[in-house]
Amino acid sequence: MIIALAGGVGGARLAQGLVQVLGPDKLGIVVNVGDDFEHLGLQISPDLDTVMYTLAGIHNAKLGWGRAHETWHFMETLEQLGGETWFRLGDRDLAVHVDRTRRIRAGETLSAITAGFCARLGIRHSVMPATDQRLRTRVLTDIGELDFQDYFVRRRCEPAVRGLRFEDAQSALPCAALGRLIAAERITGIVICPSNPWLSIAPIFAIGELSSLIDAHRVPVVAVSPIIAGKAVKGPASKIMHELVGGSDALSVVEYYGVRVDGWVIDAQDAALAGRVEAAGHRVRVTDTIMSSPERARQLAVDTLALFDELDAAE
């Protein structure tokens, strides 16, 4: 079984490609929960929802979050009442948060709730929160330490990032289904999706048992670069990369993940960097990594998975 590590939009796009290539018994998707928070009394899991909506084909491709054919009556009414409106919740989306919150309060785990929603939405693959326990990303910035969504949404990533802290990550355990896969040694490979390395993937790595699985080199790890020609396709990855490591291209991401990654997929626009990625000890594939359609996502998934065979053959 391959597991794919995903944040929101970049992770969801590659997940959409991978599910076209690997059956539900061959692929599980492990999703960041560092962005999760409580808002308006609701339990919100932005990355899980982006992955879930994308795999169900009901995501809002234009916004990059939330649902297609969304309406905003709740938000408009909240604004009229003078409520908090900095975090946008569409009417359809709202049902997920309301029901997730009800089920959490009734004692269900986030992974059981997610599995239930996914089944209802016709998703056959397992979508797992990295952990069922509380794990919160805190952003250390030039104006102080901020809650993740305060930094990301309310302040639009404007403060300069000095560091990140993944609260409660060390003691967090992988969610039960993922824990079982690890214990039974059923994981044969890990794909790191082209999600934001610092905001989306680092909180997953911060979970002790997951990092030891990877650091002990028990399974091959293949990653797709979220940085193309020195820029993020979407979001603040490139800004954060500048602030934290001073780098400006895919090589900075390669260096950041270091020996954790065996094989890299980089974009054709970065073909000139391939030699240096190889020199750093990785296998490299150069291909078109912009997933502008489900078909392109499928092709990138095929190319990414082919790296596992190359790594196998090289051993």
State which of positions 48-87 bind ligand GDP (CB under 6 A).
50
Residue 71 CB, shortest distance to ligand GDP, in Å, is 22
Q: Terminus-to-terminus CA distance in the chain, angstroms?
A: 20
Residue 35 CB, shortest distance to Ca ion, in Å, is 4
Count of Cβ atoms closer than 10 Å to residue 104 Cβ: 17
CA dist 199 to 158, 253, 309, Å? 15, 13, 29
Q: Does 90 bind Ca ion (CB under 5 A)?
A: no
Number of H helices, E strands in the chain: 13, 14
Q: What are the beta bridge partners of residue 223?
A: 192, 264
Nearer to Ca ion (CB atom), residue 181 or residue 199? 199
Nearer to ligand GDP (CB atom), residue 31 or residue 213? 31
Q: Does 196 bind ligand GDP (CB under 6 A)?
A: yes
312 Rama sector, left if φ>0, alpha if ψ -120 to 50, beta otherwise: alpha
What residue is closest to Ca ion based on CB?
Answer: 8
Q: Does 49 bind Ca ion (CB under 5 A)?
A: no
**Coil, strand or helix: which one is 140?**
strand
State which of positions 2-31 bind ligand GDP (CB under 6 A).
7-11, 13
Q: Does 35 bind Ca ion (CB under 5 A)?
A: yes
x/- letters, 130..169, toward ligand GDP (CB under 6 A): ----------------------------------------
Q: Does 7 bind Ca ion (CB under 5 A)?
A: yes
User: Is the CB of residue 7 less than 8 Å from the CB of residue 15?
Assistant: no
Q: Does 207 bind ligand GDP (CB under 6 A)?
A: no
Residue selected from 21, 78, 98, 232 as contacting ligand GDP according to rule CB under 6 A: 232
- Quote the CA–CA distance of 48 and 36 in Å, as a whole number: 9
CA dist 145 to 32, 138, 166, 242, Å? 20, 7, 12, 19
Q: Does 252 bind ligand GDP (CB under 6 A)?
A: no
Judged by the rule CB under 5 A, the positions of this chain that interact with Ca ion are 7-8, 35, 47
Judged by the rule CB under 6 A, the positions of this chain that interact with ligand GDP are 7-11, 13, 47, 50, 194-196, 199-200, 224-226, 228, 232-235, 237, 289-291
